Structure 1
Amino acid sequence: MGPPKKEQEEEEEQSIILISDDESETTLGNSVLLVDPLSKPALEEEKSEEVVDEECELMVTFCKQANVMPHARHDCTIHPFERTECDRCSPLGKNADICDQCYCYICDKLASECQNWTTPSLCHCNAHNKSKFWKDQRDFALAGVLVMFGFELTDIDAELRRGGDLLLKFIQELSVEYNKYLIGERMPSIQEECFCLPKLPPGQCNVCRSRNTEVVYRYSGVFALVTRFLNQAETESPKAAAVMLLGAAKEIALHKDPALSWQNLGHTASLKVAVPCLLQRITTQLQRMLVLCDFPKSLYEKFISFFQSISLPCHCFGFSNSLNVVPWDHGLLTTVLKGQNITGHRTQKGRKVFLWEALPVIEARVEKLEDNMNYKEVVRYLRAVKCNDTIGLRDLRDKIPFYLCKSGDFLDATHSLLFPVGSLACCTACRLTPCQFEVYLKMFRTGSVPVGKNMLDSGPWLTVGSPLKNGVLIKQALRLLYSNISLYRNPKCWSSLIMILGSSSLLERSGHLHPLTLKEPPLDFQKGVLAVGGGLLEDLKARINVSLPSAIFTPHLHHEACLILAVQAVQQMLFCDLPYLNSFLEITLAFGNNFWALRLLLEHLSYEEHILQGTVNLILRDLNRQKATMFKLWQNLGPQYVGEFLCLFLTCRHRKMQSIGLFALNIITENLHVCPWAKHLCNFFHNVGLRHLPLGTAAHNEVSKFINIFEEL
């Protein structure tokens, strides 16, 4: 025992602390015993002396009145409490008595503020924590409508509570609208003959009229209300939206059609058509959210469990497994994304299990992988996953080559374009558009890709890998054209091929190519390429794997060799499919400053009269229709280009080809006011001696007339 304390002055109350040497002899099982100082007179008499409990060998050294802390009513030490399982008719015993710190177990607020403390049939004063009934009541009071989701109170945050509040309001409004639907609308049917006695004229017999009156049940009002609620859910946070969507699904699944026979009223007015339509929208949105939103695992599982607990009517059985969405950490999905499983199936307990997902789920996974720039993972996933919607899955798989380009694997991208994935009947090349064809060629040529998600978006480009070699590029480009007849017959595709083959592999960040001016190779080299080119093109059409002869496609002249091979492919296309072409001018313009390659093309066209005539007619028609466009182009390219372009046609040995140059020259002559560069063009004609070349009479006359115009100024 320590020495006695000095007497201390207390203002209003004293505290007593009893310290024991032997814990086992105390009633509380510890060395400190708190004594309630209610008997003040006894203490005051011994105020100056130590207080000793001889029985327990305790000494009182300090005394203070205890503060009563907030507590549930059933834990109150002042007023006794009687416990029963679920008695709520009236207060039991003294359960209604409270102290200042008694709280309502149900409302979680001061008992004095509880409006249902002694209300008959509610009686919150009888609630306690040892009863399942009262625990459920407390959970519902605190969680509201969210209690049906099985959330723990610690799970409920502001987002979930917001969703619950909106859902409760919706349920109340829906109840009113659904009751209106159940009442129906009485519609008089077609007046029929009266069979009563005496027989009355049609429409005058009250008995027959009441018998023939039909009740029509229109679900349109309910459909509109639910649609508005779903629209609102899409604007809320993910957790709130999930609660709203799931709650709406449960409510409409309970709706029943009171009509005794089928009533064909339209997709919104007929319940058996409208409810599946609404459930389709709800489940699709929930599927996307389960994939895109990072819900905690417990919340994720409770959402799925809640949907599975909904009792679906027979006309909605197809939605039973809609939310069986595997999480991102699912074993099979994980192995597919990592490249450890390329088939998308595995054997489990003696049977094959496939990675089979609904199309909205697949779309959402692709979207998330795209956002995270996991292009290799999205390729593996799309190649392995299976889906009932084969067309939708095919459209997603058509972007596999683009994802491979984004990851820098351009060679694999070309193979993915040409070979079908999985069980698809045809390859992606069959569905390419001319614009997509051009973008793919640009990516293969430069090793760069558009920054955005869509390959056709106009935005900056980024270098991600090494471009394809010229020989590989032209082989794969021609295979693409031979695989798609609509591309093969489209002049834009051929002009894209020629333009890209005649451009540098360096690309501006804006996506613009740098054209190359290639020197004309020796004639022997040109003849050598043409000699082997015919067989190569036939093998490519037959999808035979070919290799370009190294003796012809040398490292020094590979650009020129590829351009000659493209010229030969254009010639073959014209000989077979000229009637299907709607333009040819853009093909001629695609050669840029490589006029030697364009001359090679035009010379070979003159071997077939009908091919020559058809080509000339197409070019003349294009020039006549696109005068304004040609003026802008010529303004940008300058008089040197215009002069060489005109000289190329004017100096052709075939008179029909010369007519193209004459037509273009006449267009310029008639529009000198918008051709400020025309005088420089006249100087070009002087420098090349065009007036003295052995042209035809018509060509000499037009050239002389054009030159004389500027000489007289």
Structure 2
Amino acid sequence: MSFSSPVEENTLKVQMDSQCYPDGCQVVPVWKLVAMWPSEKEEEETIILISDDDDDDDEVQCPDDDGEGESTQGSSVLLVEPQETSPLEESKSEEMVDEEGDLVVTYCKQADVMPHARHDCTVHPFQRTESDTSSPLGANADICDECYCYICDKLAAKCQLWTTPSLCHCNAHNKSNFWKAQRNSALAGILATFNLELLELDTELRHGGDLLEKFIKDLSLAYNKYLTGERMCPPGHECFCKPKLPPGQCSVCSSQNLEVVYRYSDVFDLVTRFLNQAEQQSPKAAAVMLLGAAKQIALHKDPALLRNCQNLGHTASLRIAVPFLFHRITSRLQRMLVLCDFPKILYEKFVDFYHSISLPCHCFAFANSLNVLHWDHVLLTTVLKGQNITGQRRQKGRKMYLWEALPVVEARVEKLLEKKKYKEVVRYLRAVKCSENGRLRDLRDLIPFYLCKTGNFLDAAHSLLIPVNSLACCSACRITPCQFKIYLKIFRTGCVPSGNEMLETGPWLSAGSPLRNTVLIKQALKLLYSSETLYRNAKCWSSFIMILGSSNLLEKRGNLLPLSLKEPPLSFQENVLAASANFLKDLKSGVNVSLPSAIFTGELHHEASFILAVQAVQQMLCCDLPHLNSFIELVLAFGKNFWPLRLLLDQLSYEEHILCGTANLLLRDLSREKAMMLRVWENLGPQYVGEFLCLFLTSRHKRMQSVGLLSLNVVIENLHLCPWAKQLCTFFHESGLRQLPFGTTVYHEVSKFVSAFEKL
């Protein structure tokens, strides 16, 4: 049974019961008319009256004193006696029998009147109409002590609008849609403006409504103060009174030339604080607060609109401040409609409320801001499922495009990434259109990474070089050296970062089979050739060399495992150099060329890859050495493989000016990065340092010998940081470094270094 108010008269209950007795006997269901009278004492008995007109043929077994059932067949009355009845109470009872003998009343008591809505009052008659509010009808204004107002939900005696003309709450009842709406509005408060039903109101919505009501009161005071303005003397006003006073000090001139200035700053600050508060609330409460604030500031008018435009700041001018606030509100709401799982009915009511706001002329640009497609929209779902790759469809002869605001696009990508739906992210970004093309382009630049997350590495490598549409350039033009290294690491190992960001550090997870060595080299070089920024960056070339000299397995911490390769035969090196030169030439010209599979997939494919990298670096140095900012990174990228580095220096020796320029660049790097070199040498050990020094000290070119001498001096100057330095003496003896021509600078420095340790 439903009641129209929290408290109503409770006089009769009709209930269906089934009663079981011992010995397996069951009483058939009978309709019991239960009269319940509230009593001041719990001990006072309750009389149950039972009418059973429809079950005359049923037999009811009632247990008697000895435990056996007694038949009551043919009896229409079952009297349930009180457990204990005093003689005085029995004398009060008076048997009443109706004419047909179907009902027997053994005891009656006057019922207490319980709280009830006015239209349910049994004391005063009530006259119902649909929506009469002009004056009380009939005796509707009469009340008893327990009558409640249907609208206010409080005692009628305390209702201030009980008989107020044009309101007349005394005429309200639960059979009228008009009065039901009035009641919903009264109980919902400010939330009634959102067209929300009472059953839809939860704690979050009510909390947001309470905060909104308080804000509206505070905003009204601030806005009224803004409308009064400030009376100020015009700047630069000159006094012409006698005696002439400085500007602003003459009360006569000031009072006659005061100008009213309207500053919206206080209102702007109040709204900003409220928006900050809204963003800290739960989604439903925040949505109510943001929408309510938008409706309120849309009603604000600029009193100076008909006057000359006042030169005020962006927060003091209403026509600048309100659009700024609207942009913040709509951007936040757009994200919430995408990210928050609002029930669809509530979602639509929020959007309808926004559309009901009458926007001023300076906010017309925000009219369609909340036309955000729901996740189950046909166009959006077909795009996400891959059934529509263009983002276009025809509806009733008109073309529809998947065109969304930037906050919506960002929110959708964020939501899909949160659910790890990388394929859907790729499909959406390729199909969606946005007015802010720059930011949309940045989002699309991550499409190759999302493809890598799905394990589709080949498609990811191609998408780096292929633009999404004909009006944009490819992503390779904008990737950073760090991203270049991460992509090569992914292609080499088949692993990807565990998160949704392109981070080199942190855990990596396997996503698929890595690219073949020939495909990896070809795609890496295409990336380098497609971007001048990447081509002239030493970090990119060092990453390329490091990847080719590493295993396709990762350490537990996600680091690459470097390889130590033996120097192949000279004939093999010459063949690879020749094949690499032709391959690089065709690749630069845009010819679709492939690497010789016999060389780059055979037993020495790692060595062949190193030789090809040497050839590519040599070509780069010959063309763009002046643009290179470092060379020590390329040297360190070879790791403990000194034979390809020696091959590179030999190739550079054919052009002396290139070799000298490279040596000068190395000398500059060593002078600047002494501390870094010491850390590297400490990690790699004395064997590496000895081979590094021998490589340059034994060079035929004096400028390259200078690189070795400077490196040796770095060790001598920092012996306290090089506990492994003494082991270099043994390496110099074993390598025959002391057999260099007598009297040369290299011989003198090496001998001095060895002698210093022999005296210890």
What is the DSSP-based 3-state SS (H/G/I as helix, E as strand, rest coil) of the residue aligned with 2:376?
A: coil
Distance 2:415 2:247 in 1: 67
Secondary structure, aligned partner of 2:380: helix
Pairwise CA distance, 1:208: 8.4
Match of 1:685 among 728, 732, 735: 732
Q: Look up the match of 1:312.
A: 359
- Shift of the 117–565 alpha-carbon distance from structure 1 to 2, 3 Å rule, reads same
The CA deviation string for residues 255-310 of structure 1, in whole angstroms up to 9 with x for no partner, is 11111232221211111111110000000000000000000010000000000111
* Most deviating of 322-331 and 73-82: 73-82
Q: Does 1:53 find its partner at 2:99?
A: yes
Alpha-carbon separation, structure 2, partners of 1:500 and 1:429: 18
CA shift for structure 1 position 116: 5.1
In 1, Cα distance between equivalents of 2:580 and 2:541: 17
Residue 546 of structure 1 aligns with an amino acid whose one-letter code is: V
- Cα distance change of structure 1 residues 695 and 430 upon mapping to structure 2, 3 Å threshold: farther
Matches of 1:640 and 1:12, distance apart in 2: 105
Q: Which residue, out of 215, 219, 229, partners 2:264?
A: 219
Q: Does 1:230 align with 2:275?
A: yes
User: Number of matched residues?
Assistant: 683
Aligned equivalents of 1:629 and 1:106: distance in 2?
Answer: 80
2:3 alignment counterpart: none
> Does structure 1 residue 167 correspond to structure 2 residue 196?
no
Deviation at 1:648, TM superposition (A): 1.2
Question: Is residue 451 from structure 1 mapped to residue 498 from structure 2 by the alignment?
Answer: yes
Cα distance, 1:326–1:94 mapped onto 2, change above 3 Å: closer
Task: After TM superposition, give the deviation of residue 184 of structure 1 in Å.
Answer: 1.0
SS at match of 1:706: helix
Deviations 1:467-512 (A, max 9, x none): 1111111111111111111111111111111111111111123221
Aligned to 1:653: 700
2:274 alignment partner AA: F
Q: Is it true that 1:572 corresponds to 2:616 in the alignment?
A: no
Between 322-331 and 404-413, report the one with greater CA deviation: 404-413
- 1:22 and 1:246 map into 2 onto residues whose CA distance is 61
Deviation at 1:249, TM superposition (A): 0.4
- The alpha carbon displacement at 1:645 in A equals 0.9
Is it true that 1:670 corresponds to 2:714 in the alignment? no
Contact 2:495 2:509 in 1 (8 A): yes
Q: Does 1:352 align with 2:352?
A: no
Of residues 685-694 and 471-480 in structure 1, the stretch that sits farther from structure 2 once superposed is 685-694
Give 1:497's aligned residue.
544
What SS does the aligned partner of 1:602 have?
Answer: helix
Tell me if 1:93 matches 2:129.
Answer: no
Deviates more, 1:146-155 or 1:617-626: 617-626
Partner AA of 1:229 in structure 2: F
Residue 554 (structure 1) shift: 3.0
Does the residue aligned with 2:552 lie in a helix, a strand or coil? strand
Q: Which residue of 1 aligns with 2:230?
A: 185
Please name the residue that 2:31 is paired with.
Answer: none
The change in CA–CA distance for 1:171 and 1:50 in structure 2 (over 3 A counts) is closer
- Which string of whole-angstrom CA distances, capped at 9 and with x for unpartnered residues, describes residues 120-174 of structure 1? 7765333223445533331222000000000000000000000000000001111
Query: Structure 1: how far apart are the matches of 2:638 and 2:136?
Result: 97
How do 1:341-420 residues align onto structure 2 when only pairs under 5 Å count? 341-420=388-467
Please show how residues 507-586 of structure 1 align to structure 2 within 5 Å.
Answer: 507-586=554-633
2:202 aligns to what? 157
Query: What amino acid sits opposite 1:59 in the alignment?
Result: L
Distance in 2, matches of 1:513 and 1:21, equals 89
- Asked whether the equivalents of residues 95 and 105 of structure 2 are also in contact (C-alpha less than 8 Å), the reply is no
Cα distance in 1 between the residues matched to 2:415 and 2:743: 67
2:744 pairs, out of 682, 686, 697, with: 697
1:237 Cα deviation from its structure 2 partner: 0.2
Structure 1 13/341 Cα, relative in aligned 2: closer, same or farther at 3 Å?
closer
Q: Is contact 2:97–2:104 with CA below 8 Å preserved after alignment?
A: yes
Q: 1:62 to 1:400 in 2, by over 3 A?
A: farther
Aligned residue in 1 for 2:683: 636
Q: Is the 8 A contact 1:429 1:483 kept in 2?
A: yes
- The root-mean-square deviation of aligned C-alpha atoms, in Å, is 3.1
Q: What are the superposed Cα offsets for residues 653-703 of structure 1, whole Å, 9 maximum, x if unpaired?
A: 222222211221122223322211111111111112221256882222222
3-state SS in 2 of match to 1:468:
coil
Structure 1: how far apart are the matches of 2:121 and 2:95? 34
Deviations 1:368-411 (A, max 9, x none): 11111111110110011111110010011011111111111111
- Spell out structure 1 runs of 4+ moving beyond 6 A: 10-13, 43-50, 191-196, 201-211
Percent identity between matched residues is 69
- 1:322 is aligned to 2:369: yes
Moved more, 79-88 or 557-566: 79-88
Alpha carbons of structure 1 residues 683 and 111: separation in structure 2 relative to 1, 3 Å: same
Contact 2:125 2:140 in 1 (8 A): yes
Q: 2: CA distance between counterparts of 1:577 and 1:48?
A: 119
Do the aligned partners of 2:195 and 2:349 also contact (CA within 8 Å) in 1? yes
Partner of 1:246: 291
What is the SS of the residue equivalent to 2:399?
strand
Of residues 250, 269, 275 in structure 1, which corresponds to 2:322?
A: 275
Residue 552 of structure 1 aligns to a residue in which SS? helix
| Superposition deviation, residue 50 in structure 1 | 7.0
* Aligned with 1:467 (options 514, 525, 531): 514
Tell me what 1:3 maps to.
none
Q: Deviations over 1:608-647 (max 9, x none)?
A: 1111111111111111111121111111110111111111
Partner of 1:538, secondary structure, is helix
Q: Which residue in 1 is equivalent to 2:20?
A: none
In the alignment, the residues of structure 1 paired with residue 758 and residue 429 of structure 2 have an alpha-carbon distance, to the nearest angstrom, of 69
Look up the SS of the partner of 1:504 in the other structure: strand
SS at match of 2:231: strand
What is the SS of the residue equivalent to 2:199? coil
For the residues of structure 1 that align with 2:373 and 2:484, how far apart are their CA atoms?
A: 36
Q: Report the CA distance shift for 1:686/1:266 in structure 2 as closer, same or farther (over 3 A).
A: same
TM-score (normalizing by structure 2): 0.84
Quote how far apart the aligned CAs of 1:214 are. Answer: 2.2
Aligned mates of 1:457, 1:218 — CA distance in 2: 51
Return the letter of the residue paired with 2:558.
G
TM-superposed CA distance for 1:207, in Å, is: 10
Determine if contact 1:86/1:131 at 8 Å carries over to the other structure.
Answer: no
CA distance in 2, matches of 1:580, 1:554: 34
Q: CA deviation at 1:20?
A: 4.2
Residue pair 1:107, 1:138 contacting (<8 A) in 2 also: yes
Could you tell me whether the CA contact under 8 Å between 2:96 and 2:106 is conserved in 1? no
Instruction: State the alpha-carbon separation in 1 of the partners of residues 202 and 530 from structure 2.
Output: 57
Identify which range, 671-680 or 251-260, moves more after superposition.
671-680
Distance (whole Å) between structure 2 residues aligned to residue 111 and residue 537 of structure 1: 94
Give how far 1:219 is off: 0.8
Judge conservation of contact 2:140–2:171 (CA < 8 Å) in 1. no
The corresponding residue for 2:526 is 479
In 1, the alpha carbon distance for the partners of 2:530 and 2:680 equals 33
1:420 and 1:428 in contact (8 A); partners too: yes
Aligned residue in 2 for 1:610: 657
Change (3 A) 1:457 1:105: farther
- Change beyond 3 A, Cα 1:155–1:532: same
